[in-house]
Amino acid sequence: MSRRPSSASALPWIGTLACLLLLVLAAWYWWRPGRPEPRLEAPEEAVAAFYSGLAALAVDERELAIDQFRRAVALAPEEPAIWANLGLAELRAGQMEGAGKDLAQAASLAPTHGEVRFFQGLLESRKGNPAEAIRHFGDVIRLNPGHLQGRYSIVKEIQRRGEEGKNDEISRLWEEMLELRPANLAILLEMARQAAETGHRQRLDRAVLGLSKQAKNWPDQAQKAFEMLEKAAGDKDVTAARVRALVLRNLLVRTYEFRRDLAEVHTPPENPGAPLERFIILATPPVETAEPDMALGFQIELFPEPAATAQNRQNSGAGAGRVTDEAGRSKTGSGGTPETPEKPSGGSREAPKQAGRPVTVSKEAS
């Protein structure tokens, strides 16, 4: 007769299986795709140097920014944002070799960060390597599909190279940018010019339609220029439309709206790129404000006038030009108007004042 295993003898096996299941679940949670990376607190001195470097870049103090970012990277070498900003500051300062090394280090620490790749593209463009620049800008778009400046930079690099047969690619990039920002003036004007240049009437009509929705807010000259562009597009005169688009852009380039929209897609050549303002790996410390001091108050208090100031005001004000007699009394003319001292005649001169009483003496003729 066989014996059935008791429930007490099965308990250790159940416990072992439960522990193994928990270990498997923990391993899956830790190694699952897309899990957040562990974030560590950045050293306070590194944080201070990082934001000091950002402040220096904001006022175009490039050498100071480089010094601060180098100090920060020495304290927190695992943070790619510091390396990226250091490379950007060196790029702006013309230190191409150092910028290349530091941006490569940032890319190795954050290989999927699009802005780091964008900085690398700006560096290659500045060095005159359009093929490498386009490769980096292409990586930017793959990593961040909504990156406007990456697309705009590719367009400018293709136009700079003057490659034939690239009009379709440029048109596609303008279409993508317009999908992302349908009311952007800079995109609409460039798209209109490029469509007129390549004879793409449908794309030209679309750009003119987008511009027409904003034309009523433009200066008078710009409105007249737009009417001429609209007429050229309606007449299917692409040559005239190209010229009118350029004229309209030159008139709008001074407006706030155009400069704002251009900044969305293009960075100025003298200060390329926008520095990273937050850490990528390390935890950015929270901003903590002090509690308000509700007992703090203000009281307006009038300070007594200094004696010297009062005396100077008195001498230059009511007492100026007053004539007194020998007793020191003020002398007045008709109507109570104070008399002014008369200039001495040829044989008289004014003697030095004694005790505040001017005395006029006569000089007898010899």
pLDDT one-digit tens code per residue, 312-335: 767 665 544 454 454 545 555 444
At residue 38 the predicted structure's pLDDT band, cuts being 50, 70 and 90, is very low
Supply the pLDDT for residue 270.
84
Which has the higher per-residue pLDDT, 349 or 90? 90
Note whether 264 and 181 are within 8 A (CB). Answer: yes
- The verdict on domain 42-163+267-286 having CATH code 3.40.630.10 is no
Of 46, 51, 81, nearest in space to 65 by CA = 51
Residue range 38-49: mean pLDDT, rounded: 82
Contacts for 72 with CB less than 8 Å, ≥ 6 apart: 46, 47, 49, 50, 53, 79, 82
At residue 144 the predicted structure's pLDDT band, cuts being 50, 70 and 90, is very high
Q: Please, what is the angle between helix 80-92 and helix 62-75, to 10°?
A: 160
For 259-293, what is each residue's pLDDT tens digit? 999 999 998 888 899 999 999 999 877 767 778 88
Q: Is the pLDDT of residue 8 over 70?
A: no
In the chain, CATH 1.25.40.10 sits at: 42-163+267-286
Distance between CA 217 and CA 273 in Å, rounded? 30
Strand partners, 283: 41
Q: Is the pLDDT of residue 185 over 60?
A: yes
Q: Is the pLDDT of residue 357 over 80?
A: no
- Range of weakest confidence among 55-59, 136-140, 297-301: 297-301
Residue range 110-119: mean pLDDT, rounded: 94
Residue range 170-178: mean pLDDT, rounded: 90
Q: Is the pLDDT of residue 74 over 70?
A: yes
For 193-234, what is each residue's pLDDT tens digit? 989 988 888 999 999 999 999 999 999 999 999 999 999 999
At residue 303 the predicted structure's pLDDT band, cuts being 50, 70 and 90, is confident
Residue range 337-359: mean pLDDT, rounded: 49
- Tally DSSP H helices, then E strands, for the chain: 15, 2
Supply the pLDDT for residue 306.
72
Q: Is the pLDDT of residue 50 over 70?
A: yes
Q: Is 348 helix (H, G, I), strand (E, B) or coil?
A: strand
At residue 90 the predicted structure's pLDDT band, cuts being 50, 70 and 90, is very high
Residue range 101-105: mean pLDDT, rounded: 96
Of 167, 136, 129, nearest in space to 151 by CA = 136
At residue 18 the predicted structure's pLDDT band, cuts being 50, 70 and 90, is low
Q: What percent of the chain has pLDDT over 90?
A: 55
- Range of weakest confidence among 1-10, 34-43, 121-130, 275-284: 1-10
Supply the pLDDT for residue 317.
59
Half-sphere exposure of 33 (CA within 13 A, CB side): 0
Q: How far is CA 274 from CA 59, 137, 256, in A?
A: 13, 15, 20
Which pTM was predicted? 0.67
Q: Is the pLDDT of residue 337 over 60?
A: no
Note whether 40 and 53 are within 8 A (CB). Answer: no
Q: What percent of the chain has pLDDT over 70?
A: 72
Q: Is the pLDDT of residue 305 over 90?
A: no
Please provide the average confidence, as pLDDT, over all residues in the chain.
Answer: 81
Which has the higher per-residue pLDDT, 229 or 22? 229
Q: Is the pLDDT of residue 246 over 50?
A: yes
